[in-house]
Structure 1
């Protein structure tokens, strides 16, 4: 699996557009997204195993509720599974929790991005619940993976993004607005 310090792979995927405009039908609902889309921004790319399942919509909806907070931090959210853009669109139409999702849903149908990242479950052949925070230079700054049966915590992803953007030393459970560690002050106290 690719991890911190690795370049996020180049990709070109079809996505169901974010927001209500994404539900306009096949001719109006799709857009192409590449690694260069939203250039200069932080990217949070999260994967789920399959559409029309039970845990996935809870995570996707939770990320959706935080979309504005990620945007406030100059970050974009991309949700990805190996289902097609048509399946994504149908799922959104029929699931109230994600119908007006402010996050594009990318279709990695050929499993090229999932394979390049090394996140396909060996037995099921679908992506694990992987999350990547990628800086504006396309370098992975944080990677987390859960098994197929355990949902992740989007609030924790936001907390980690906040910490990464400080470019400081952030202690355990640090949250935005708290002081970062100052090594010299720690050395002075110890002396």
Structure 2
């Protein structure tokens, strides 16, 4: 079953952020855009490249009013150790949620039950707590944070402009579509 257009489920977790441990719940994102960026494990190979790429886009996401939460089934203590030992991970300013109870990974239906690890999954949650898009890739396929920012802009545009939709490869400022009977068969 798809999670698109469904509300996120309640959760409680501890995250590492900016040198401290912070408690995080679903209530923390009420009224805000949020990205939940799941990855298999700390101290691995593709994961730090993705998290570093996302860190490079964090200022732009903040400008768009989007909070970012990376999530793995590691503990917040492991996140702190990784943050302190890796130059790439040390640049991260967003919250790194520890999910050792597997609750959040199960809530987002991204958990590999037989391994206790999350798949690579990205979820955009709107200010109403509704999941607007998901992306899931296989273990060895890293994601692109620039494309993630583009999708966020498209989701925000559609939310702010009822009756319009963003076509493929739409970039901010480009033309959108207004679906209607007159448009059928003309694209």
For residues 1-191 of structure 1, what are the structure 2 equivalents within 5 Å?
A: 2-18=2-18, 22=19, 29-167=20-158, 168-183=164-179, 187=183
Displacement of 1:31: 0.6
Displacement of 1:11: 1.1
CA offsets, 1:20-73, max 9 Å, x none?
A: xx1xxxxxx201111111431100111010000010000001111101111111
Does structure 2 retain, via aligned residues, the 8 Å contact 1:2–1:117?
A: no
Using the alignment, how far apart are the partners of 2:55 and 2:17 within structure 1?
13
Query: Which aligned runs of 4 or more in structure 1 are off by greater than 6 angstroms?
Result: none
Compute the RMSD of aligned alpha carbons.
1.9
Using the alignment, how far apart are the partners of 2:58 and 2:137 within structure 1?
21
Structure 1 gaps of 5+ residues are 23-28
Structure 2 gaps of 5+ residues are 159-163
Structure with the largest fraction of strand:
2
State how many pairs are aligned.
Answer: 181
